[in-house]
Amino acid sequence: MTDKQTDVSTVIIINKSQIGPKTLQIKTKHLNNFNKYILGIIVLIISLTSSIFYLRYVNDKKEVEKQQLLTQVNKLQALLPPSVTGVKKVNNSQLYIQGIEQKLQKINEYLKKRGLPGFSNKAVGGNPNAEDSKLTDEENYSLYNEYLGRLVNAVALTPMGYPRNSSLTSFFGYRNDPFNSEHAEYHPGLDFRGRKGDEARSTAKGKVIFAGWYGGYGNCVKIAHANNYETLYGHLSHISVKVGQQISVGEKIGEVGSTGHSTGAHLHYEVRKNGKAVNPINFLSLNK
């Protein structure tokens, strides 16, 4: 009985408007941890507030970039002169415009898969000069259509955008060794924040050339792309593809983890050109 009583403390509440004080019995362990409870609540409030402001910032930024893309599309469409002579010419013009709009839609699909909201280009269809002015409407439309077709292929085959939509925790280049702060190490890629089981996705169309354990990278996937590009995805908790498999843009290749030389769950991502690591930050936006 004595042990049970020491587990409970009595708090006396005095109210001047009432005749006698009130008592409140609270477990002693809760009183001892009161400061910890208050600190935990404060940290939670700060974290939630910071998350709200960050998400608002990201949404505002994406909205601005979206408007930039719409402006570019409107400029491109404004360059197409209206056809006014002959039913056949109007029909041909409509076919060209439809072809261009379909390619723009295809580009937008690629951008969404990569988390990229827009692109910029100041010379669609070539530079305006005396020779260009001699082209017919159909020839001009054909030039735009051909350009956009090449742009679609370039976007599909080049590693661009984010293998997962999250913030960066480590950048390309030399940094402090996370296992020994007194030493520096070369970091050949980017680290993306994530939790174990989050999806990692391919940033370009290509072919899986490695899928398995790769030293300090832990569970790793390497994909070969056009123009001698490769991408590497490291520290995976699960690999979803196999060697020889053809991969499309935005396809899941594995799940975030902390395998290999890692201090916590995240996605390590590299872009290589002719076997040499290059800074992936230059491939995260079409405006780079």
Please provide the size of the chain in residues: 288
Q: Examine the domain organization and report whether 117 and 205 are in the same domain.
A: no
Q: Report the domain count for the chain.
A: 3
3-state class of 106 per DSSP?
helix
Sequence-ordered alpha helix ranges (H) in the chain? 2-6, 28-32, 34-78, 87-114, 137-157
Query: How does pLDDT run across 41-96, given as a tens digit for each residue?
Result: 888 888 888 888 887 777 777 777 667 666 766 666 665 555 444 445 555 666 76
Predicted local confidence at residue 195, as pLDDT: 93
| Highest-confidence segment of 5-9, 88-92, 235-239 | 235-239
Report which of residues 206 and 135 the model is more confident about.
Answer: 206
Two tokens, residue 127: 């530079």
Residue 274 has pLDDT above 80, yes or no: yes
Pick the last residue of a domain from 112, 132, 157.
157
Which candidate, 278, 171, 168, places its Cα nearest to that of 229? 278
Could you please report the per-residue DSSP string of 185-243?
EEE-SEEEE--TT-EEE-SSSEEEEEEEE-GGG-EEEEEE-GGGEEEEEEEESEE---T
**Alpha-carbon torsion (220, 229, 153, 81), positive or negative:** positive
Selection from 80, 99, 83 nearest residue 148 by Cα: 99
Residue 288 lies in a domain: no
Domain shared by 269 and 210, yes or no: yes
> What is the pLDDT at residue 1?
40
Q: 208 and 251: one domain?
A: yes
Tell me the average pLDDT of the chain: 77
Residues 14-44: pLDDT tens digits?
A: 666 666 677 666 677 666 677 777 888 888 8
Residue 94 has a pLDDT of 66
Q: What is the pLDDT of residue 2?
A: 43
Residues 248 and 190 in one domain: yes
Distance CA 87, CA 83 (A): 9
End-to-end C-alpha distance for the chain, whole angstroms: 73
Which residue did the predictor score with more confidence, 253 or 228? 253
3-state secondary structure of 211: strand
Same domain, 196 and 134: no
> How confident is the model over 150-186, as pLDDT tens digits?
777 777 777 877 888 788 888 888 777 666 666 777 8
| Structure confidence at residue 79 (pLDDT) | 58
Range of the domain at 11: 2-32
Q: Give the per-residue pLDDT at 16.
A: 65
